[in-house]
Amino acid sequence: MAKRAQMPRSGPKAGAARGVPKRKRNPAMLLLGIVAAVVAVIIGIVLLQNQTARKPVEISGRTGEGTAWGPQNARVSIVSYSDFGCSHCRNFALDQGKKLRAEYEATGDVRFEYKHFIISPPDTANAANAAECAADQGRFWDYHDLLFSQQGVSRSPFARDSLKQYAAQLGLTQQEFTQCIDGDTHLDKVYRDSAEGRDAGVQGTPTFFINGTKIPGEVPYPQFKAAVEAALAVKQ
């Protein structure tokens, strides 16, 4: 009687006997995955910033304030040197600057004055001139906010045609504004501000002087407020 042929046993030992290789992680693929994740995060941040920039500016309706808010005899004077093409200036203007005004304007204890410090001529110089043209019609601060909000929205946010379009968006008298833009009416003042800033030791934007004390950079609001409160305490 013939014997049945024995089938090879299956299981872990059999696999081990056949020498099945273990999979190894590829360092290059792992690195590529990390790089892709970082790029995705950066793209997300940029898209979020652009989305924020595209939000419509709230028109305050305030008029006749010039380029400063707060009374001239305020106990604390804040002088700001800024450029409309500076991202840190934009961040301060649309965040800390608004918080500062909301907290201190009604008290009459603080005066905040905006001055130009041009770092990217001629585009931002034209934007600064346009802001002064808006000030002629009592709408500097609305135009100031609108200019900062346009950073990153287009390649040429400060082209003359764009500057005129912003004025129309705010309802300014177009003929008067156009003449002011085309005639570079306030360009001399813009560059005088910049020269004054250099003489005072300004090296970058934004730079602030709180009762003469220099504070460079985009300072977080709690730190900026602490400096204001310290100045108020001295002036009691």
One DSSP character per residue, 28-49 reads HHHHHHHHHHHHHHHHHHHHHH
The pLDDT of residue 121 is 87
CA dist 128 and 112 (Å) reads 17
At position 59, the amino acid (one-letter code) is I
The pLDDT of residue 63 is 59
The pLDDT of residue 160 is 96
CA dist 64 and 140 (Å) reads 9
Contact 54, 94 (CB under 8 A): no
The pLDDT of residue 56 is 52
The pLDDT of residue 58 is 63
Q: Which domains does the chain have, with CATH numbers?
A: 68-234 (3.40.30.10)
Mean pLDDT for back-to-back runs of 10 residues, the chain (236 residues): 47 47 60 62 45 52 80 97 97 97 97 96 95 97 97 92 97 98 98 98 98 97 98 88
Q: Name the pTM for this structure.
A: 0.75
| Nearest of 80, 76, 164 to residue 114 by alpha carbon | 80
CA dist 217 and 120 (Å) reads 17
Beta strands in 28-131 (DSSP E): 68-69, 76-82, 110-116
Write the CB contacts of 14 (distance below 8 Å, at least 6 apart in sequence): 8
The pLDDT of residue 197 is 98
